[in-house]
Chain A
Amino acid sequence: MRAAALKAGRGIRWYLKQATGESKWDEYLQRCNREDVEPVSRRDFERHRAEQKENNPKSRCC
């Protein structure tokens, strides 16, 4: 029972991190680690992502 609840909780957390794009930072860190590169600060990383959103508007339907 408790194990199932924990599993569901982890699943929801994973989903929200993916859906909100928070996981992008973790993925970036992993990649830097793998490729042995010094990562930029989180602030700079998120600015870079905001910049991309600025130039790629997404439609929202009615």
Chain B
Amino acid sequence: MSTVTSPDQTGPKMTPKSMVGWCAVAVVGAVCWTILALSRGENVSALWILFAALSSYAIAYRFYSRFIAHKVLGVDNTRATPAERLENGVDFDVTDRRVLFGHHFAAIAGAGPLVGPVLAAQMGYLPGTIWIIVGVIFAGAVQDMVVLFFSMRRDGKSVGQMVREEIGTVGGVAALIAVFSIMIIILAVLALVVVNALAASPWGVFSIGLTIPIALFMGFYLRYLRPGRVMEATGIGVALMLAAIIGGGYVDQMGLAQTLTLSKETLVICLIVYGFLASILPVWMLLTPRDYLSTFMKVGVIVLLAIGLIIARPVLQNQAITDFAIKGNGPVFAGKLFPFVFITIACGALSGFHALIASGTTPKMIAKESQVRMIGYGGMLMESFVAISALIAASVINQGLYFTINSPASATGGTPGAAAEFIRTLGFTISPSDLSAAAHSVHEITLISRTGGAPTLAFGISLIFTKAFGGALAAFWYHFAIMFEALFILTAVDAGTRVGRFMLQDTIGNVWPRYANISWKPASWSASAVVVALWGYMLYVGVTDPIGGIYQLFPLFGTSNQLLAAIALALCVTLMFKHGKARYVWVPGIALVWDLIITMTASWEKVFSSDAKIGYFQQRSVFQTALDKHHLIAPAKTMDQMQQVIANSTLNGFLQALFAVLTLIVVASAIPVWVKAAKSGGLPTTEVPRQPSHLVAAAEIFATAQEKQAVREYEAAQRELAASGRPR
């Protein structure tokens, strides 16, 4: 009774019925792709994108991920997973596959897949759609699944640890520095998105601000009033949160509008103080309850958005490919389609950050090896679907309005008149009164230059929901969507600061052991302060940048995330060679090669380009030359701002180069290992030796009849054992 012999294991023959079914899926996919490829300048329905994505995912999951599971990785259900062998009910814990899928998805999907596609929509809907779908199938989902598998075979070791043990110390140290610094950039840019969404938005500040007392209340409820009743507490929390969103509409009547209209600088200080407190307070007080709220909102909105899209069937306003994609002069971010569309959309297509999650908590909870397919590959497909939805939401907005919201203030001038004129120079039309009306429709003071993606997405979601569900609720839906995004960015910032603090304490602990003691207050407080100061400084740099924080920092964010992916994929390739599977090394290999091409081209351009809009150091030298002659260059309005541009572009250029070099060090130190392993047909690895599994569990979301029967028999046997008084 050691395993279920699923048809997957025995090399199945497809039944004629399923062959017909899969042919139908393939036909639907082919039709959708053809229509997307051929339609130009007509009214294209967003559903073509949606169904092109869904049918491609289905085929990739059914065929490619199965090939990876059984041929490339060789999942073995007779082999006990770490959760089974080391079960302790804490971190090693056999978890139902569907529950673990939920946990894993909640951990990987955040604001990334929402923000990137919105910004990439400046190049049209087609490049983003193709990259999100093709990228996830051949790169993103492959990375997540393969890292999850290898980490599971090593009792849940982290990527950093595996790089050190399997590639070498130099690579390991480079990977550690890269992970830490990339995390700081990611936190800063995410926080920047929140700041841009909440600045000059009293409604937003009111409702997001209230989530703090709501979370505190939930924390106390779960600690003192009704310990452990998470569903009750979350139900109350969600009801209060919806009330907070509705209540935000009455800030004027409450006389709070003035007080809550905060500048970006004030918000930065609020976020820094909040981030510090959240990382030193006990988790039960703030972090855990917030996480329940944000997970609920995340799943709720995604489901609602999918339903809304199908009911509303919106028409795309965006072009398939815009001129900016070819000329590289877009106002949202600089650079041509290649490589910049590929780094702007990281999460949703390929996200290195996932490797940290796939090699952390999740591998310690898997019941059966074959489940890496559903959790690793399937979880990432789901995130990709979120990215596609975000791309659609950004593409159904009037394009004049899209560029008004997303162009930096240095371009739009900030007033309706100037913005309308700027939009005209881009080749779109929108009148100043239309701009004011759009802002008024969602109860915002202005929508001009609300960069960062969140306001655009919220506006798009509000359009789709209003069309799908009716009623005059545009403003409610807008703020509902802002809440949804801000809530889980703040959760990511809390959790990220905490993880960063532990990493720092652990690293310093190597030379000063006492510092690693996580309950020693001086250590935990100072480490938290350092982490918050680092991302807080980058956030401040972004907020005050005269050229525009998102315009300047987003490329750095996207590249760094995908450089992390390059490190993870280099590890996967190394392990394929070491396990003697050189034959299949192309599976993570094509993802690695493509990822290196795009990230290195982008890094090269950002560092060395002679176009001052793209190259950080060129920008620096142009501004420096002007400053020496006491000239001002727009958008800088004072000499101080000139100085600021120079300082920022130097810092950004330095970081961009640093990340690329760290990645190259990891890859370069891996290559000799590849050669050696390929020559000798494999090398010893740190894989934990096989031990037989006694557990029975299904492999996929829906268990087969055979699997259900086997699980029933297994459970009955377990009960019998328990009844006879012998613990398992």
**Chain A residues near B (Cβ < 8 Å):** 15-22, 24-25, 34-35, 42-43, 45-47, 50, 52-62
Give min CB distance, B91 to chain A, whole Å. Answer: 6
Give min CB distance, B101 to chain A, whole Å. Answer: 10
Residues of A within 8 A of B109 (CB): 61
Q: Are the C-beta atoms of A62 and B190 separated by less than 8 Å?
A: yes
Complex CA distance for A4 and B637, rounded to whole angstroms = 68
Q: Are the C-beta atoms of A62 and B561 separated by less than 8 Å?
A: yes
Q: Are the C-beta atoms of A62 and B353 separated by less than 8 Å?
A: yes
Residues of B within 8 A of A21 (CB): 230
Closest 3 CB pairs of A and B: A62-B112, A20-B230, A46-B227
Q: Are the C-beta atoms of B231 and A17 separated by less than 8 Å?
A: yes
C-beta contact mask, B253-296 vs A, less than 8 Å → 1, else 0? 00000000000000000000000000000111000100110000
With contacts A34-B727, A54-B282, A62-B353 known, what are 13 further pairs, Cβ within 8 A?
A: A15-B98, A15-B99, A15-B102, A18-B99, A22-B228, A22-B230, A53-B288, A58-B107, A59-B107, A59-B353, A60-B488, A60-B492, A61-B353
* Chain-A contact segment, one of B356-364, B440-448, B627-635, B706-714: B356-364
Residues of A within 8 A of B353 (CB): 59, 61-62
Residues of B within 8 A of A19 (CB): 99, 102-103
Q: Are the C-beta atoms of A20 and B107 separated by less than 8 Å?
A: no
Complex CA distance for A55 and B524, rounded to whole angstroms = 12
Number of A-B contacts (CB under 8 A): 100
Give min CB distance, A26 to chain B, whole Å. Answer: 10
Residues of A within 8 A of B495 (CB): 57-60
* B interface residues, tally (CB under 8 Å): 52
16 A–B pairs (Cβ distance < 8 Å), ordered by A: A15-B98, A15-B102, A19-B99, A22-B229, A45-B227, A53-B288, A55-B518, A59-B107, A60-B110, A60-B496, A61-B110, A61-B112, A61-B351, A61-B492, A62-B112, A62-B347
Q: Are the C-beta atoms of A62 and B98 separated by less than 8 Å?
A: no
B514 part of interface (Cβ distance < 8 Å):
no
Q: Are the C-beta atoms of A50 and B356 separated by less than 8 Å?
A: no
B620 part of interface (Cβ distance < 8 Å):
no
A50-B288 contact given A19-B103, A21-B230, A25-B228, CB 8 Å threshold? yes
Q: Which residues in chain B, 107-123, are within 8 Å of chain A measured between CB atoms?
A: 107-112
Residues of B within 8 A of A18 (CB): 95-96, 99
Residues of B within 8 A of A46 (CB): 222-223, 227-228
Complex CA distance for A18 and B90, rounded to whole angstroms = 14
Give min CB distance, A20 to chain B, whole Å. Answer: 4
A61-B107 contact given A20-B292, A35-B727, A55-B518, CB 8 Å threshold? yes
Q: Are the C-beta atoms of A50 and B357 separated by less than 8 Å?
A: no
**Chain B residues near A (Cβ < 8 Å):** 89-91, 95-96, 98-99, 102-103, 107-112, 186, 190, 222-223, 227-231, 234, 282-284, 288, 291-292, 347, 351, 353-354, 356-357, 360-361, 488, 491-492, 495-496, 498-499, 502, 518, 561, 722, 725, 727
Q: Are the C-beta atoms of B227 and A42 separated by less than 8 Å?
A: yes
Residues of B within 8 A of A34 (CB): 722, 725, 727
Complex CA distance for A48 and B99, rounded to whole angstroms = 22
Residues of A within 8 A of B99 (CB): 15, 18-19
Residues of A within 8 A of B112 (CB): 61-62
Complex CA distance for A45 and B96, rounded to whole angstroms = 22
A53-B488 contact given A43-B227, A59-B499, A61-B112, CB 8 Å threshold? no
Point out the residue from B292, B491, B502, B561 that lies within 8 Å of A60, measured CB to CB: B491
Give min CB distance, A30 to chain B, whole Å. Answer: 8
- List the A residue with the shortest CB-CB distance to B519: A55
Complex CA distance for A57 and B91, rounded to whole angstroms = 11
- List the B residue with the shortest CB-CB distance to A56: B91
Complex CA distance for A12 and B360, rounded to whole angstroms = 27
Point out the residue from B222, B228, B727 that lies within 8 Å of A45, measured CB to CB: B228
Q: Are the C-beta atoms of A16 and B499 separated by less than 8 Å?
A: no
Point out the residue from A20, A43, A58, A61 that lies within 8 Å of B354, measured CB to CB: A61
Give min CB distance, B561 to chain A, whole Å. Answer: 7
Complex CA distance for A11 and B293, rounded to whole angstroms = 21
Residues of A within 8 A of B96 (CB): 18
Complex CA distance for A59 and B159, rounded to whole angstroms = 13
Residues of B within 8 A of A53 (CB): 283-284, 288
- List the B residue with the shortest CB-CB distance to A17: B231
Residues of B within 8 A of A24 (CB): 89
- List the A residue with the shortest CB-CB distance to B355: A61
Give min CB distance, A32 to chain B, whole Å. Answer: 11
Q: Are the C-beta atoms of B190 and A58 separated by less than 8 Å?
A: no
A57-B347 contact given A17-B231, A20-B292, CB 8 Å threshold? no
Complex CA distance for A61 and B298, rounded to whole angstroms = 13
Give the residue among A25, A56, A60 with the most B Cβ atoms within 10 A.
A60
Residues of B within 8 A of A47 (CB): 223, 227
Complex CA distance for A24 and B223, rounded to whole angstroms = 16
- List the B residue with the shortest CB-CB distance to A30: B722
Q: Are the C-beta atoms of B231 and A60 separated by less than 8 Å?
A: no
Q: Are the C-beta atoms of B288 and A62 separated by less than 8 Å?
A: no
A57-B223 contact given A18-B96, A20-B292, CB 8 Å threshold? no
- List the B residue with the shortest CB-CB distance to A43: B227
Q: Are the C-beta atoms of B496 and A59 separated by less than 8 Å?
A: yes
Q: Are the C-beta atoms of B288 and A61 separated by less than 8 Å?
A: no
Point out the residue from B89, B91, B229, B284 that lies within 8 Å of A50, measured CB to CB: B284
Complex CA distance for A61 and B495, rounded to whole angstroms = 9
Q: Are the C-beta atoms of B283 and A50 separated by less than 8 Å?
A: yes
Complex CA distance for A45 and B228, rounded to whole angstroms = 9
Residues of B within 8 A of A52 (CB): 90
Point out the residue from A35, A50, A58 that lies within 8 Å of B361, measured CB to CB: A58
- List the A residue with the shortest CB-CB distance to B186: A62
Residues of B within 8 A of A25 (CB): 228
A59-B488 contact given A19-B103, A52-B90, CB 8 Å threshold? no
Complex CA distance for A13 and B234, rounded to whole angstroms = 14
Complex CA distance for A22 and B234, rounded to whole angstroms = 12
A16-B231 contact given A50-B223, A62-B186, CB 8 Å threshold? yes
Q: Are the C-beta atoms of B231 and A20 separated by less than 8 Å?
A: yes
Point out the residue from A16, A42, A55, A56 that lies within 8 Å of B228, measured CB to CB: A42
Give min CB distance, A10 to chain B, whole Å. Answer: 14
Give the residue among A15, A16, A57 with the most B Cβ atoms within 10 A.
A57
Q: Are the C-beta atoms of A62 and B102 separated by less than 8 Å?
A: no
Give the residue among B99, B291, B356 with the most A Cβ atoms within 10 A.
B99
Complex CA distance for A25 and B228, rounded to whole angstroms = 8
Complex CA distance for A21 and B91, rounded to whole angstroms = 13
Complex CA distance for A25 and B722, rounded to whole angstroms = 18
- List the B residue with the shortest CB-CB distance to A53: B283
Give min CB distance, A50 to chain B, whole Å. Answer: 4
Give the residue among A16, A18, A19 with the most B Cβ atoms within 10 A.
A19
Residues of B within 8 A of A43 (CB): 227
Give min CB distance, B116 to chain A, whole Å. Answer: 9
- List the B residue with the shortest CB-CB distance to A21: B230
Give min CB distance, B349 to chain A, whole Å. Answer: 13
Complex CA distance for A34 and B499, rounded to whole angstroms = 38
